[in-house]
């Protein structure tokens, strides 16, 4: 029996092999939304026309309020950076098929490890508040939900190959089983390989990825899905400059291409290894006409290592907080070969490992015009991490032997800056009720979540103070929504919501140490971040689509997740900062047309006024920061999109503007505004034998080749010396920045079969 071709089709749209239907207004950037809050989305109509390696964060860059730092043309750089209404990515909850994918401690998420873009079905972005049943403890600034495509009912597959600038290439293949007999089961499995040279400086990157999804459906409304993903990703790092270094060197501020003894910027020492195993099993059971049960168990494992170069002293350094190499120390000198000026050049390795097991379950009862939901979320996470050092020879290669891999003291102990063990348990109980009145035109919703987080962290290096810290948090989170459907096309809404974020990073509990400086971070303020938000908005859907909203957000204990290089190293350490209160106000809007003569335009924009509510204390001195503009909060952002698709020829153009952004609390340093634009051109052919709807696609990114700083990679109180409230001089400290990706050209060939 011959295999049937894999063709994704929707009534009223077109049939393609990659899921494009040309039915979403705004070229795939404005799907119909009815939620009583600010909410935007992205569908296959847009996703399939972007570079096949584009990250989830970059796919959202045209939506109102969203700013993403595209620092890699392929979207493979780990630790995607974005802001939304001035909130950083670590303040935005991220869900994939109902499971939270951010690191539950530092809240970073590498979206490139989650799913291939060929398998990504849709994105939903809630700019102000998370769902009450969302399993999140960091969604102070909103929520992003990503969903994978469902397996086809027909046996077949899809293949996509891409090549482009910087020796970029991607090979992708997916096979669908189709419906397996009368079992109600269908599934797919896919594999991809992606690689390229670094666009800036020496080195390369590559990625192996597997996706698989299986669906079992029965009855009128019951299903079980099983999602599996595996990723192995390798990147050579790129340096982040200060503003002065950017102005002096521009794109040439890079790691060294060859090794010089004592120079730790050698590119082969700066490595990121991101590995992930992801298992999610969303289940939905229709128990009766009025009762349904939802449960989503999931398991996530993420592990490294990350690596960088560092020179460490032979004598007079630190093991934890204890000096080594002097007469009074129990730890002797590191009398090893390959010394340079009293130092040893080493490869600093951070082999972190994290495992998360969880379940989120809820019961929903619908009776008449009333729907009651009650649920419980439980999660357990364990994180281990121990920095270690390996000796380098004069050629920059790791030396094996001499007790050097890793470097040990005479008593056998491994030299380390951190020996971390971190545990976290989360419980959340939530209840929500929705009442529909006036022939279902008026909807009133109220909910309450009680979130409980228990943490314990230890650092077992000698002299760590504190070596152990615990944290227990209870946060009450009420929500209220009201919406009125004027008619099937017009809706108004108002809401009041709360959200929180537990303290960010292990450094908030136990300090970091380094052989050169001893303690390099202080235990942060352990108060959770808490937000209270209000929105009012209007939405029209139909041939023309408009969504506008005004918002107000008040935050206490704003925990800014800054970062900085370990002294003398190319590895970055987290630096949590409590900046006090913050108030953010503004409005956003987006407009899109349904396809008209094959054309679909899209417009979006946001005005944001975000200010600090408190003075900031640094080194015992109070800086006059109250009322100053919050960091990473551009006043104006906007996007213009235009799509053409007649079923054969297609094209997509997107232009984005991002206003200037401050990077210090004192507003004494900022990055300039910038503009970027991307272009897609393509042609679909008729089916040729087993090749179903083959197409060729050209993607041009940053077509103006703008040279720009995309976002602040760290935050400081003041970049230059300034006076405190008492008149004392507070020394400046320069932030570092992420450099925006340059022009790129990529050609891809794809086809169903």
pLDDT band at residue 80 under the 50/70/90 scheme: low
Q: What is the pLDDT of residue 561?
A: 66
Q: What is the pLDDT of residue 586?
A: 97
The share of the chain scoring above pLDDT 70, in percent, equals 95
Q: Which residues pair with 225 in a beta bridge?
A: 215
pLDDT digits (tens, 9 = 90+) for 525-569: 678 999 999 999 999 999 999 999 999 999 999 887 666 677 666
- Please, which residues have CB within 8 angstroms of residue 247's CB and are 6 or more apart in sequence? none
- Does residue 418 form part of some domain? no
Q: What are phi and psi of 657, to 5 degrees?
A: -125, 130
Distance CA 220, CA 218 (A): 7
Distance CA 355, CA 477 (A): 27
The share of the chain scoring above pLDDT 90, in percent, equals 80
What Cα–Cα distance (Å) separates residue 266 from each residue in 310, 313, 515, 714?
10, 19, 20, 23
Residue with more model confidence, 522 or 234: 234
Residue 408 burial (10 A CB sphere; 0-12, 13-18, 19+)? middle
Q: What is the pLDDT of residue 109?
A: 86
- pTM to 2 decimal places: 0.93
Dihedral class, residue 484 (left if φ above 0, else alpha if ψ from -120 to 50, else beta): beta
Q: What is the pLDDT of residue 563?
A: 66
pLDDT band at residue 319 under the 50/70/90 scheme: very high
Q: What is the pLDDT of residue 145?
A: 96
Write the CATH number for 87: 2.40.170.20
Question: Strand runs (DSSP E) across 257-290, as ranges?
Answer: 271-280, 283-286
pLDDT band at residue 574 under the 50/70/90 scheme: low
Task: Tell which residue, 455, 423, 413, has the closest CA to residue 320.
Answer: 413
- Does residue 697 form part of some domain? yes
Cβ-contact 469, 505 below 8 angstroms: no
**Is the pLDDT confidence value at 311 over 50?**
yes
**Is the pLDDT confidence value at 3 over 60?**
no
**Is the pLDDT confidence value at 79 over 70?**
no
Number of domains in the chain: 1
pLDDT band at residue 287 under the 50/70/90 scheme: very high
Q: What is the pLDDT of residue 128?
A: 87
Q: Which of 5-9, 122-126, 318-322 has the lowest mean pLDDT?
A: 5-9
- Does residue 52 form part of some domain? yes
**Is the pLDDT confidence value at 5 over 60?**
no
pLDDT band at residue 578 under the 50/70/90 scheme: confident
**Is the pLDDT confidence value at 317 over 60?**
yes
Q: What is the mean pLDDT of the chain?
A: 92
Q: What is the pLDDT of residue 411?
A: 87
pLDDT digits (tens, 9 = 90+) for 439-467: 999 999 999 999 999 999 999 999 999 99
Q: What is the pLDDT of residue 146?
A: 97
pLDDT band at residue 237 under the 50/70/90 scheme: confident
Q: What is the pLDDT of residue 73?
A: 85
Task: Tell which residue, 744, 734, 710, 741, has the closest CA to residue 81.
Answer: 710
Task: Tell which residue, 126, 60, 124, 122, has the closest CA to residue 92.
Answer: 126
**Is the pLDDT confidence value at 173 over 90?**
yes
Residue with more model confidence, 111 or 247: 247
- Does residue 12 form part of some domain? no
Domain that holds residue 653: 25-406+424-714+730-752
pLDDT digits (tens, 9 = 90+) for 601-643: 999 999 999 999 999 988 889 999 999 999 999 999 999 999 9
Q: How far, rounded to the nearest angstrom, does the alpha carbon of residue 674 sit from its chain's CA centroid?
A: 22
- Does residue 2 form part of some domain? no
Q: What is the pLDDT of residue 562?
A: 65
Q: What is the pLDDT of residue 547?
A: 98
pLDDT digits (tens, 9 = 90+) for 132-158: 999 999 999 899 999 999 999 999 999
- Please, which residues have CB within 8 angstroms of residue 110's CB and are 6 or more apart in sequence? 78, 79, 80, 233, 274, 276
**Mean pLDDT value across residues 21-46:** 96
Helix, strand, coil shares of the chain, percent, nearest 5, are: 5, 55, 40
pLDDT band at residue 105 under the 50/70/90 scheme: confident
- Does residue 723 form part of some domain? no
- Does residue 721 form part of some domain? no
**Is the pLDDT confidence value at 1 over 50?**
no
**Is the pLDDT confidence value at 11 over 50?**
no
- Does residue 211 form part of some domain? yes
């Amino acid at each position: 029996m011959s295999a049937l071709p894999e063709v994704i089709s929707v009534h009223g749209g077109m049939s393609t092999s990659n899921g494009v239907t040309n039915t979403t207004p705004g070229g795939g950037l404005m799907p119909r939304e009815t939620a009583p809050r600010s909410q935007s989305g992205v569908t296959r109509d847009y996703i399939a026309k972007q570079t096949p390696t584009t990250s989830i964060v970059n796919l959202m860059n045209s939506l109102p309020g969203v700013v993403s730092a595209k620092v890699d043309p392929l979207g493979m750089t780990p630790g995607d950076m974005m802001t939304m209404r001035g909130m950083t990515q670590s303040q935005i909850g991220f869900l994939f098929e109902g499971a939270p994918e951010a690191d539950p401690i530092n809240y970073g998420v590498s979206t490139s490890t989650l799913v291939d873009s060929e398998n990504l079905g849709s994105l939903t972005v809630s700019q102000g508040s998370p769902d009450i049943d969302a399993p999140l403890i960091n969604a102070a600034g909103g929520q992003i939900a990503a969903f994978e495509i469902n397996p086809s009912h027909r046996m077949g597959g899809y293949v996509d190959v891409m090549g482009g600038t910087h020796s970029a290439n991607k090979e992708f293949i997916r096979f669908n089983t189709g419906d397996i007999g009368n079992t109600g089961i269908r599934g797919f499995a896919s594999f991809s390989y992606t690689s390229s040279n670094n666009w800036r400086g020496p080195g390369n990157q590559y990625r192996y990825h597997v996706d698989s999804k299986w669906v079992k459906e029965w009855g009128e409304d019951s299903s079980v899905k099983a999602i599996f993903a595996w990723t192995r990703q390798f990147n050579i790092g790129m340096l982040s400059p200060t503003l002065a270094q950017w102005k002096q060197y521009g794109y040439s501020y890079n790691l060294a291409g060859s090794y010089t003894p004592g120079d730790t910027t050698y590119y082969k020492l700066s490595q990121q290894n991101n590995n992930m195993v992801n298992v999610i099993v969303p289940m939905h059971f229709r128990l009766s006409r009025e009762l349904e049960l939802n449960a989503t168990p999931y398991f996530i494992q993420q592990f490294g290592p990350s690596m960088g170069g560092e020179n460490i002293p032979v004598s007079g350094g630190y093991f934890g907080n204890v000096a080594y190499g002097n007469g009074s120390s129990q730890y002797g000198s590191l009398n090893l070969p390959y010394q340079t000026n009293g130092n040893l050049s080493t490869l600093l390795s951070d082999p972190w490992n994290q495992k998360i097991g969880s379940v989120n379950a809820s019961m929903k009862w619908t009776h008449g015009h009333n729907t009651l939901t009650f649920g419980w979320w439980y999660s357990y996470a364990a994180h281990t991490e121990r920095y270690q050092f390996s000796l380098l020879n004069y050629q920059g290669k790791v030396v094996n032997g001499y007790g050097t891999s890793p470097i040990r003291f005479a008593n056998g102990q491994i030299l380390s800056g951190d020996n971390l063990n971190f545990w976290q348990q989360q419980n959340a109980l939530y209840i929500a009720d929705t009442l529909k009145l006036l022939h279902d035109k008026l909807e009133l919703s109220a909910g309450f979540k009680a979130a409980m987080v228990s943490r314990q962290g230890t650092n077992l290096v000698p002299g760590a103070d504190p070596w152990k810290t615990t944290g227990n948090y209870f946060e009450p989170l009420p929500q209220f929504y009201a919406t009125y459907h004027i008619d099937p096309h017009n809706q108004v809404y108002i809401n009041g919501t709360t959200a929180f974020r537990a303290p960010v990073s292990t450094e908030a509990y136990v300090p970091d140490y380094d052989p050169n400086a001893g303690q390099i971070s202080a235990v942060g303020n352990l108060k959770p971040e808490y937000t209270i938000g209000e929105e009012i908005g209007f939405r029209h859907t139909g041939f023309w689509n408009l969504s506008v909203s005004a918002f107000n957000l008040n935050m206490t204990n704003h925990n800014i997740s800054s970062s900085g290089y370990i002294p003398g190293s190319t590895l970055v350490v987290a630096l949590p900062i409590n900046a006090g209160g913050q108030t953010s106000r503004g409005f956003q809007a987006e407009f899109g047309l349904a396809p008209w003569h094959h054309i679909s335009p899209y417009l979006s924009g946001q005005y944001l006024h975000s200010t600090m509510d408190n003075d900031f204390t640094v080194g015992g001195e109070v800086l006059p920061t109250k009322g100053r503009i919050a960091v990473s909060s551009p006043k104006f952002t906007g996007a213009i999109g235009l799509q053409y698709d007649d079923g054969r020829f297609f094209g997509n153009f997107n232009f984005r503007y991002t206003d200037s952004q401050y990077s210090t609390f004192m507003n004494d340093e900022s990055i300039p505004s910038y503009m970027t634009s991307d272009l897609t051109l393509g042609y679909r052919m008729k089916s040729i034998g087993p090749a179903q709807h083959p197409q060729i696609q050209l993607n041009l990114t940053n077509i103006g080749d703008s040279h720009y700083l995309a976002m602040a990679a760290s935050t400081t109180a003041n970049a230059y010396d300034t006076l405190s409230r008492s008149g004392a001089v507070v020394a400046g400290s320069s932030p570092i920045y992420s450099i925006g990706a340059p022009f790129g050209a990529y050609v891809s060939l794809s086809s169903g079969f």
